[in-house]
């Protein structure tokens, strides 16, 4: 009988009641007395010099209260990159200032160079258009293509950066000679050039921010769509506006999805705060959908050449890659970490590959900034590795299942140190591969292929054995590697006098289901009902601190902090119980919500202990403070390493090139699972996004830097009929060895493991159909591309 | 967006050349043109209203002439701002060659759009630009040539013959 409560139960998501009944409270839902509206004036050209902005006409328009331009912010700070990367020659990365509003130059279509604040939205919009009409921006040649950007020193996104390079990173530079030597003596070398297509995150709720200033106290409040309000507070306070941290509250209420795009601080947040200070009234802004397309940090956008050295029977000897990674026009907060420490460090995959060298050149272009998007660096690594393993198998006529099995790290080899700087603490990659082969009925493939053939379709199957690293840590190591922040998290567990509990978590929930899962963990540990536990998140005035939700870290890092805080509650409860039960603290055991004296029937319930802590009449006041509230910070000793095996079956219509996903099967190892239903949902969502990337989604800039895919007419999001019913399994469990819950994280896995499985399946289908000249098709594998590949 | 094509016009090169540089002709021939004024030396000011897919806008802009080889070839460049719709700009390299019974007018058109038109209408922009060019040169041809010959042959009265001339010819006497 499955559990219906606590850890391991598929408790229904309590937050869904308000989401599904329209009672969620999102930033744009909040109406404030005296509120005003901000509209941004955005560049229509990708690259231009701002010659003049004449504000006179716009200022006279009805309802206009204030106008801001880049000039107003030229003396305040810029929005910084969160991670300093050094180039191979030891020089630090080039880090141009990212101003609140563009000053001097505009650098991508959508770059905001002015803002209008007015009494109503329409008045602000009209005045913003007037301001745009009264602005003289001289269009400069756009820098769009990464290869051209690096080759042409005369045309610069940032005038001070001659070759448009942010950095040229080698990982690990000291290993390079050994890797090159391995290639020189290799019996077989497989080479593949591929593109990891740029994606627009498309959170359902567009970005939205409200700035408030309280003249009486000098306090500021920013309500905003953020995945990590504390980080936003730190960036706005310490770097951009210079507001003391204790005078700024950041609240991220209900947030409708982020996928990475709401990790970062954006200029609009600083603008509404600065404007509210000037006007003494709340200033609000909500992005239109096209603004989201133009200005939310995009994902991926790598061009990679990968080489794999192997024996003739498929043993991987070395991997070498060269990647151009697009950062767009400015450095978004994690944009430098994503193509480096979240990508290069994963380039050994789940394999026993002795030699790996990764080179990443990060390039400025006149496009929207690119940063972490669901998976962040690991999908790029996984796609490169899993595509080239497949290509190697084809070139050597080897079975892709057997080649992977042969190269996978063996269960008895953990902890396993990779040549790219990670130590995988635990795993059993054979187990998930075996589980996959069983669940996907690989043995029955030929029969299904014959049925497809009878319909005139080509069936293929694609495999991906993936690994990722979640819960980036530990802080002292990432500090050495260039991180400018710590990567711990924090939680406070407050037991109220009547025994119910408020848990304040640094992790922010914007769709993940923390309010349910975190309550399950606390309920399990304290032996009390889930319903008496409330999870509070997203408000810097209520929560001790937190680094937010990204990188599948919420449960592994913040959940661990919460678990530690609960342990402190239990420890204190034992002291109170020992006093009340007149026993030694060492004899008190806590189980099923009761503190009892071992070997006796003397016991106090959790509620009685809580009450006593707040009404301390019978209480050890001389040795113990009243109250029952504990805070814990948790800094992980290592990443966690979820891993798994995915199999995709596709049917390709050779007449049209259309690819249909026939089935998709996942066998994952996420460590211990707190709520199987939520884990399954996370995998569904991740795989759905991966299928979107593999088959549909493409972000297209023309040679002038105009974004051609800036609405749902041209940007193809996956719809229900584009994805199959998934088969998802997470019964293979090797618990994380270094966090108290033994959890690994599941939020990004689907988006990481699925794209290569899809593309491998398409290539497989074409080969089985006799089109063996097709070596690779870049994503999205659209009907046009498949048809051209078949007929090319 | 690039487009290369030609037209055979039943008028001598000098007539075609003069028509090309005449703001009144251009106003009549540019689809959706509401005003066109100015001189070849200083360029023209133009207002054009057009609907590109979901975006309808009035573009205000300047038309300039360059690389002029009198009577033979020139480059026409234009840039229009359409307010919230964004902008459109482009150029046409036009050359005239005398041919049997008239003039062969060849053109290379290059067009680019930016802002909302590019963001929302990119799928249809190529077809739109081709349609615009076709329509322009069709009208231009009609303006210079007048109606087709068989119609002209039917014309009995002298006074009406005047009318049936292309309006540009009429204008030029």
Instruction: Give B156's pLDDT tier (boundaries 50, 70, 90).
Output: very low
Cα separation, A77 vs A68, whole angstroms: 16
Measure in Å the smallest separation between the Cα of A709 and chain B Cα atoms.
6
Same domain as A556, residue A414 = no
Residues 6 or more apart from A646 whose CB is under 8 A from it?
Answer: A436, A463, A464, A465, A466, A664, A665, A666, A667, A687, A753, A754, A757
Instruction: Give B171's pLDDT tier (boundaries 50, 70, 90).
Output: low
User: B157 or B85: whose pLDDT is higher?
Assistant: B85
Cα separation, A12 vs A17, whole angstroms: 9
pLDDT of residue A4: 87
Chain A: residue nearest B122 by CA? A708
**Residue A516 is assigned to a structural domain of this protein:** yes
- State the pairing for strand pair A135-139/A302-310: unpaired
Contacts of B81 in chain A (CB under 8 A): 133
* Closest residue to A129, CB basis, from B84, B119, B123: B84
Same domain as A645, residue A507 = no
* Phi, psi dihedral angles at A631 (to 5 degrees): -120, 140
pLDDT of residue A756: 98
Section B157-173 average pLDDT: 56
Cα separation, A564 vs A567, whole angstroms: 5
**Residue A358 is assigned to a structural domain of this protein:** no
Question: The domain containing residue A523 runs over which residues?
Answer: 488-634
Asked if B114's CB is within 8 angstroms of A44's CB, the reply is yes
pLDDT of residue A792: 83
Section A208-213 average pLDDT: 98
Asked if B116's CB is within 8 angstroms of A294's CB, the reply is no
Residues 6 or more apart from A765 whose CB is under 8 A from it?
Answer: A458, A459, A460, A650, A651, A652
Q: Which two tokens stand for residue A691?
A: 């299928």
- The CATH class given to the B2-172 domain equals alpha beta
The enclosing domain of A650 has a CATH number of 3.30.365.10
pLDDT of B153 over the 80 cut: no
Cα separation, B118 vs B125, whole angstroms: 8
Section A557-564 average pLDDT: 97
Sheet of strand A588-591, all strands in order from the earlier edge strand to the far edge: A588-591, A594-597, A603-605
What residues in chain A have their Cβ under 8 A from chain B's Cβ atoms? 44-45, 109, 129, 132-133, 290, 293-294, 700, 702, 704, 706-711, 713-714
pLDDT of residue A191: 98
Instruction: Give A472's pLDDT tier (boundaries 50, 70, 90).
Output: confident
Chain A: residue nearest B111 by CA? A704
DSSP state letters, A75-120: TS-----SB--B-TTSPBPP-----SS--SEE-STT-EEEEEEESS
Residue among B58, B66, B127 nearest B86 (CA): B58
SS3 A644: strand
User: From the centroid of its chain, how far is CA A368?
Assistant: 17
Peptide bond into A172 cis (omega under 30): yes
Share of chain B above pLDDT 90, in %: 48
DSSP state letters, A303-328: EEEEEEEE-TT--EEEEEEEEEEEEE
Single out the residue in A616, A634, A652 at which a domain terminates: A634
**Residue A781 is assigned to a structural domain of this protein:** yes
pLDDT of residue B149: 53
Measure in Å the smallest separation between the Cα of B124 and chain A Cα atoms.
11
Residues 6 or more apart from B148 whose CB is under 8 A from it?
Answer: none
Residue among B52, B7, B59, B14 nearest B36 (CA): B59
Residue among A11, A8, A1, A2 nearest A530 (CA): A11
Cα separation, A128 vs A61, whole angstroms: 10
* Closest residue to B118, CB basis, from A129, A133, A708: A708
Domain ranges of chain B: 2-172
Report the half-sphere exposure of B62 (CA within 13 A, side-chain side). Answer: 7
Contacts of A713 in chain B (CB under 8 A): 120, 123
pLDDT of residue B166: 67
Q: Is the dihedral of CA A361, A366, A372, A377 positive or negative?
A: negative
The total domain count for chain A is 3
pLDDT of residue A332: 98
pLDDT in tens, A674-705: 999 999 999 999 999 999 999 999 999 999 99
**pLDDT mean across residues, chain A:** 97
The enclosing domain of A133 has a CATH number of 3.90.1170.50
* Closest residue to B119, CB basis, from A129, A132, A707: A707
Instruction: Give A230's pLDDT tier (boundaries 50, 70, 90).
Output: very high
Cα separation, A26 vs A120, whole angstroms: 20
**Residue A157 is assigned to a structural domain of this protein:** no
What angle, 0 to 180 degrees and rounded to 10, lies between the N-to-C axes of helices A514-526 and A560-580?
30
A555 secondary structure, DSSP code: I
* CA dihedral of A441, A444, A448, A453, whole degrees rounded to 10: 140
User: CB of A701 within 8 A of CB of A144?
Assistant: yes
**Residue A704 is assigned to a structural domain of this protein:** yes
pLDDT in tens, A157-190: 999 999 999 999 999 999 999 999 999 999 999 9
Same domain as A230, residue A108 = yes
Residue among A139, A110, A99 nearest A294 (CA): A110
pLDDT of residue B163: 52
**Residue A324 is assigned to a structural domain of this protein:** no
pLDDT of B157 over the 70 cut: no
How many other CB atoms are there within 10 angstroms of residue A332's CB atom? 28
Cα separation, A711 vs A699, whole angstroms: 11
Q: How far is CA B106 from CA B5, B12, B96, B155, in A?
A: 6, 14, 7, 32
Cα separation, A177 vs A154, whole angstroms: 33
Report the half-sphere exposure of A196 (CA within 13 A, side-chain side). Answer: 35
User: CB of B140 within 8 A of CB of B29?
Assistant: yes
Same domain as A88, residue A109 = yes
* Closest residue to B112, CB basis, from A132, A704, A713: A704
What residues in chain B have their Cβ under 8 A from chain A's Cβ atoms? 81, 83-84, 86-87, 112-116, 118-120, 122-123
Same domain as A560, residue A705 = no
Instruction: Give A544's pLDDT tier (boundaries 50, 70, 90).
Output: very high
Residue among B35, B59, B39 nearest B49 (CA): B59
DSSP state letters, A223-239: EE--S-HHHHHHIIIII
Same domain as A630, residue A674 = no
Of the ranges A214-218, A377-381, A779-783, B26-30, which one carries the lowest mean pLDDT score? B26-30
Asked if B116's CB is within 8 angstroms of A133's CB, the reply is no
Cα separation, A282 vs B53, whole angstroms: 38
pLDDT in tens, A139-163: 999 999 999 999 988 899 999 999 9
SS3 A536: strand
Single out the residue in A601, A619, A634 at which a domain terminates: A634
How many other CB atoms are there within 10 angstroms of residue A703's CB atom? 12
Contacts of B112 in chain A (CB under 8 A): 702, 704, 706
Q: Strand (E) positions, A635-741?
A: 643-652, 659-669, 726-729
pLDDT of residue A473: 85
Q: Strand (E) positions, chain B?
A: 2-9, 33-39, 43-52, 55-69, 73-81, 87-99, 102-114
Asked if A708's CB is within 8 angstroms of B119's CB, the reply is yes
Cα separation, A475 vs B8, whole angstroms: 75
Look-up of token digits 């600083």:
A270
Sheet of strand A135-139, all strands in order from the earlier edge strand to the far edge: A105-106, A48-53, A135-139
* Closest residue to A44, CB basis, from B87, B122, B123: B87
Cα separation, A57 vs B157, whole angstroms: 58
Of the ranges A56-60, A446-450, A492-496, B106-110, which one carries the lowest mean pLDDT score? B106-110
Residues 6 or more apart from A297 whose CB is under 8 A from it?
Answer: A201, A260, A261, A264, A328, A332, A335, A368, A369, A370, A371, A372, A373
pLDDT of residue B154: 46
pLDDT of A657 over the 80 cut: yes
* Phi, psi dihedral angles at A357 (to 5 degrees): -135, 135
Section A220-225 average pLDDT: 98
A216 secondary structure, DSSP code: T
Whether the ipTM is more than 0.90: the answer is: no
**Residue A10 is assigned to a structural domain of this protein:** no
Q: How many helices (H) and strands (E) does chain A have?
A: 19, 28
User: CB of A678 within 8 A of CB of A693?
Assistant: no
Q: Strand (E) positions, A398-454?
A: 416-417, 423-424
**Residue A721 is assigned to a structural domain of this protein:** yes
Same domain as A612, residue A511 = yes
Burial class (CB in 10 A: 0-12, 13-18, 19+), B155: middle
Residues pairing with A512 in the sheet: none
pLDDT of A3 over the 50 cut: yes
How many other CB atoms are there within 10 angstroms of residue B6's CB atom? 14
Peptide bond into A780 cis (omega under 30): yes
Cα separation, A689 vs A692, whole angstroms: 5
Please give the helix or strand (H or E) that residue A133 lies within, else none.
Answer: helix A121-133
A67 secondary structure, DSSP code: E
Same domain as A461, residue A523 = no
Please give the helix or strand (H or E) that residue A136 lies within, else none.
Answer: strand A135-139
* Phi, psi dihedral angles at A375 (to 5 degrees): 110, -45
Same domain as A618, residue A663 = no
User: CB of A254 within 8 A of CB of A515?
Assistant: no
- For residues B96-127, b (16+ Cβ closer than 10 Å) or e, as one string? beeeeebbbbebebebbbbbbbbbbbbeebee
Same domain as A104, residue A218 = yes
pLDDT of B170 over the 90 cut: no
Same domain as A458, residue A514 = no
Asked if B83's CB is within 8 angstroms of A713's CB, the reply is no
Measure in Å the smallest separation between the Cα of B110 and chain A Cα atoms.
13
Measure in Å the smallest separation between the Cα of A271 and chain B Cα atoms.
22
Same domain as A511, residue A437 = no
């Amino acid at each position: 009988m499955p559990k219906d409560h606590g850890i391991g139960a598929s408790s229904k998501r309590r937050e869904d009641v308000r989401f599904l009944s329209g009672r969620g409270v999102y930033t744009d839902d909040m109406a404030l007395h005296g509120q005003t509206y901000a509209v941004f004036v955005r560049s229509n050209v990708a690259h231009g010099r701002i010659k003049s902005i004449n504000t006179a006409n716009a200022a006279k328009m009805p309802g206009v209260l204030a106008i801001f331009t880049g000039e107003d912010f030229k003396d305040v700070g810029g929005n910084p990159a969160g991670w300093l990367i050094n180039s191979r020659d030891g020089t630090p990365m080039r880090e141009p200032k990212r101003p609140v509003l563009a000053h001097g130059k505009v650098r991508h279509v959508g770059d905001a160079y002015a803002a209008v604040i007015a009494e109503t939205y329409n008045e602000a919009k009209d005045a913003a258009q007037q301001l745009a009409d009264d602005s003289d921006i001289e269009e400069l040649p756009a820098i769009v293509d990464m290869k051209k950007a690096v080759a042409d020193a005369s045309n610069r996104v940032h005038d001070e950066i001659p070759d448009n390079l942010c950095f040229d990173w080698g990982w690990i530079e000291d290993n390079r000679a050994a890797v090159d030597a391995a290639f020189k003596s290799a019996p077989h070398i497989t080479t593949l050039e591929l593109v990891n297509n740029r994606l627009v995150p498309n959170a359902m709720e567009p970005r939205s921010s409200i700035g408030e200033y309280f003249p009486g106290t000098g306090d500021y409040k920013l309500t905003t769509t953020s995945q990590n309000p504390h980080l936003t507070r730190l960036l706005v306070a310490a770097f951009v506006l210079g507001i003391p941290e204790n005078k700024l509250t950041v609240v991220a209420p209900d947030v409708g999805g982020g996928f990475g795009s709401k990790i970062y601080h954006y200029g609009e947040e600083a603008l509404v705060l600065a404007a509210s200070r000037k006007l003494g009234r709340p200033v609000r802004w909500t992005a239109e959908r096209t603004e989201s397309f133009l200005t939310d940090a995009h994902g991926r956008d790598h061009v990679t050449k990968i080489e794999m050295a192997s024996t003739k029977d498929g043993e991987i000897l070395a991997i070498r890659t060269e990647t151009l990674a697009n950062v767009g026009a400015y450095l978004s907060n994690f944009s430098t970490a994503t193509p480096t420490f979240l990508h290069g460090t994963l380039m050994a995959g789940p394999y026993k590959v002795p030699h790996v060298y990764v080179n990443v050149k990060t390039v400025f272009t006149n496009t929207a900034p690119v940063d972490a998007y669901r998976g962040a660096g690991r999908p790029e690594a996984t796609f490169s590795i899993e595509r080239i393993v497949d290509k190697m198998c084809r070139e050597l006529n080897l079975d892709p299942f057997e080649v992977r099995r042969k190269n996978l790290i063996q269960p008895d080899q953990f902890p396993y140190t990779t040549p790219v700087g990670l130590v995988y603490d635990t795993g059993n990659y054979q187990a998930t591969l075996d589980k996959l082969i069983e669940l996907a009925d690989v043995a029955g493939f030929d029969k299904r292929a014959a049925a497809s053939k009878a319909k005139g379709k080509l069936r293929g199957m694609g495999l991906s054995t993936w690994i990722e690293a979640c819960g980036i840590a530990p802080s002292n190591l990432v500090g050495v590697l260039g991180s400018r922040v710590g990567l711990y998290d924090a939680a406070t567990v407050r037991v109220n006098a009547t025994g119910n509990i408020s848990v304040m978590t640094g992790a922010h929930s914007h769709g993940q289901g923390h309010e349910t899962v975190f309550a399950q963990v606390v309920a399990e540990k304290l032996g009390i009902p889930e319903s008496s536990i409330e999870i509070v998140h997203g408000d810097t005035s209520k929560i001790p601190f937190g680094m937010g939700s990204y990188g599948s870290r919420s449960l592994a890092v913040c959940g661990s902090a919460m678990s530690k805080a609960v342990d402190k509650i239990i420890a204190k409860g034992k002291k109170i119980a020992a006093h009340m039960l007149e026993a030694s603290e060492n004899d008190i055991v806590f189980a099923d919500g009761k503190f009892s004296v071992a070997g006796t029937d003397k016991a106090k319930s959790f509620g009685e202990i809580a009450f006593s802590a707040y009404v301390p009449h019978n209480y050890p006041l001389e040795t113990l403070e009243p109250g029952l509230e504990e805070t814990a910070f948790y800094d992980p000793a290592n990443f966690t390493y979820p891993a798994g095996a995915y199999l995709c079956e596709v049917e390709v219509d050779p007449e049209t090139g259309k690819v249909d996903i026939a089935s998709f099967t996942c066998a994952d190892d996420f460590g211990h699972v707190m709520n199987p239903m939520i884990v399954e949902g996370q995998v569904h969502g991740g795989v759905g996004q991966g299928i979107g990337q593999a088959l549909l989604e493409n972000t297209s800039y023309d040679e002038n830097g105009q974004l051609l895919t800036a609405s749902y007419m041209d940007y193809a999001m996956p719809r229900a009929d584009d994805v199959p019913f998934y088969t998802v399994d997470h019964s293979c469990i090797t618990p994380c060895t270094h966090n108290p819950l033994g959890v690994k994280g599941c939020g990004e896995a689907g988006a990481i493991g699925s794209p290569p499985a899809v593309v491998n399946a398409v290539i497989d289908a074409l080969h089985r159909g006799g089109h063996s000249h097709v070596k690779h098709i870049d994503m999205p594998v659209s009907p046009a591309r498949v048809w051209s590949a078949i007929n090319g | 967006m690039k487009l290369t094509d030609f037209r055979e016009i039943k008028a001598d090169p000098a007539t075609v050349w003069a028509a090309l540089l005449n703001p009144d002709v251009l106003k009549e021939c540019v689809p959706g043109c509401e005003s066109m004024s100015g001189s070849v030396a200083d360029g023209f000011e133009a207002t054009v209203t057009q609907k590109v897919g979901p975006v309808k806008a009035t573009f205000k802009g300047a038309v300039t002439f360059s690389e002029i080889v009198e009577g033979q070839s020139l480059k026409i460049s234009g840039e229009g701002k359409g307010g919230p719709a964004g902008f459109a700009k482009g150029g046409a390299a036009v050359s005239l060659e005398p041919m049997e019974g008239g003039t062969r007018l060849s053109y290379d058109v290059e067009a680019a759009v930016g802002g909302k038109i590019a963001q929302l209408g990119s799928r249809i922009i190529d077809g739109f630009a081709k349609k615009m060019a076709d329509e322009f040169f069709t009208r231009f041809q009609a303006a210079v040539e007048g109606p087709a010959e068989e119609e002209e042959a039917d014309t009995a009265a002298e006074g009406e013959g005047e009318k049936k001339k292309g309006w540009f010819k009429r204008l030029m006497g």
